[in-house]
């Protein structure tokens, strides 16, 4: 679990701490089909992924470990969206996050 330092800032303790906000977003997506625009959704997700990378590097987590956690998260997001009732899911199918981030579509 993340702890607060004396300044009130949260310090990351582990990869699960880093991914917890993104997991919350994924779970909220599973319970709704009102995702907003595709651009807004991609932007929100990419902000979470960038935060995981930035805070992970600051916490001294190896790049390989950060990638190892990001890949299944991206696959889980794609799978969640592609199995939803969201109007934009067919556009997402044409360009899933996995394709944006890894140049391939093999998971999901």
Q: 87 pLDDT band (50/70/90 cuts)?
A: confident
Q: For residue range 90-102, what is the model confidence (pLDDT) as tens digits?
A: 999 999 999 998 8
Q: Which two tokens stand for residue 51?
A: 């935060």
pLDDT exceeds 90 at position 54: yes
The b/e string for 4-21 (b: 16+ C-beta within 10 A; e otherwise) is eeeeeeeebeebebbbee
Rounded CA-CA distance 71/20 in Å is: 15
Put simply, whether the predicted model's pTM sits higher than 0.85 gets the answer no
């Amino acid at each position: 679990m993340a702890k607060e330092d004396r300044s009130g800032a949260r310090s990351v303790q582990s990869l699960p701490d880093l991914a917890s906000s993104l997991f919350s977003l994924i779970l909220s997506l599973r319970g709704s089909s009102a995702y907003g625009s595709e651009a807004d959704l991609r932007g929100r997700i990419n902000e979470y992924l960038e935060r995981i990378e930035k805070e992970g590097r600051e916490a001294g987590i190896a790049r390989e470990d950060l990638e190892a956690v990001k890949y299944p998260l991206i696959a889980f997001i794609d799978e969640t969206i592609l199995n939803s009732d969201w109007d934009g899911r067919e556009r997402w199918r044409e360009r899933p996050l996995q394709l944006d981030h890894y140049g391939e579509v093999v998971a999901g």
